[in-house]
Amino acid sequence: MFSQKSGYRLPAEWEPHAATWVAWPHRRASFLGNFDEVPVAFSKLVRLLARYEPVRVIGSEAVLRDASSQLQESSRVDFIEIPTNDSWLRDTGPVFLKSKGEQQELVVVDFGFNAWGGKYPPWDVDAAVAGKIARHLGLRVLETQIILEGGAIETDGEGTLLVNHRCIDDPRRNPGWSRGDLTAGLQSLLGIEKVLWASGDLAGDDTDGHIDQLARFVAPGCVVAARQPDRSDPNHKPLEANFDLLREFKDARGRMLDVVPINLPPSIRFGDVQLPASYLNFFILNGGVIVPTFDHDLDSDAIATIQKFFPHREIVPFSALELIRGRGAVHCVTSQQPAIECLGDECMLA
């Protein structure tokens, strides 16, 4: 396994971005129901993202023809030919690290990918996406034998990593690895001082409990965490257990975590399939936060809570009823590229 001791760190999502990457959906993707509604939802999201920062859309040549036809009038959107199996770029895309010193540099960690423990074959094309994006950007790639999706990790940018043991310490992803081995590997690869192992999952979540559905850093020392107050709801017990666990954690600086609840809507289903609807699947970008909504009264409560932590960013609701038919939302389909130099209103890759 690669060991990096050369002064890189995993930046927090609220740090400046050079761009957001998105993988355009196509008919092989894992969405339930009428697929024609999915690209329409993606086009709305990409236009929204482009209000705040450049967007880089990937796909095969044929897929990009569809994307460009729906985004013809959109500025700040580039189309890059990198084929995919599916559209969940948070999980298949690169994990960017930023150098700590004055000489700014980005590198990419290329974690292995096996479609969430082998659930959705084939995944060979998706497994190559992170490396291809790195090569497109001319960035050095750090390889590892650890299987990990980007939605499984969350950082405060100050050396603390929040993860869920169920989707990393998992024999379908990392057989033969102990929790200690994985902790040491993540610390070494990502420049992390402390790994906090959370728990829980949402009914219908085929990722086995990605942390971006359950708990998110909104500032160093502070996380928002999903709760379900209805005791009859299948999400109540696992979310309560995770909430209690989070309140026991100290971060890399020795601070007890301040844990702020966000209540999730009750069961949202497509036919007889429960979907994992979570307000925690928001995406922080330059000047804004895009929050998934589900046409429920609790939408406004979640938005108000998130707004408290980002008073200088625009909080933008985005209906995620189409995206969750693929069992994900806004954060799952986006992947931020950190900026290493800011010029005026634009943050660019130097």
Positions marked catalytic: 332
Residue with tokens 């010193």: 101
∠ CA 299-116-37, nearest 5°, is 50
User: Which residue type sits at 286?
Assistant: N
- State the amino acid at position 94 in one-letter form: P
Question: H helices of 211-347, where?
Answer: 236-246, 298-309
Angle between helices 61-70 and 37-50 (to 10 degrees): 70
Distance CA 120, CA 238 (A): 25
Q: Residue 308's closest CA among 215, 224, 213?
A: 224
Contact 32, 270 (CB under 8 A): yes
Q: How far is CA 192 from the centre of its chain?
A: 18
Closest C-alpha to 21, from 80, 107, 98: 80
Identify the three-state secondary structure at position 220: coil
DSSP 3-state of 155: strand
Omega within 30 of 0 (cis) for the link into 122:
yes
Place of tokens 């500032």: 219
Q: Which residues contact 233 (CB under 8 A, 6 or more apart)?
A: 266, 267
Angle, vertex CA 224, rays to CA 45 and CA 100, nearest 5: 80
Cα–Cα distances in Å, from 157 out to 69, 172, 173?
Answer: 38, 29, 26
Angle made by CA atoms 327, 135, 96, in degrees to the nearest 5: 55
Q: How far apart are CA 87 and CA 70, in angstroms?
A: 16
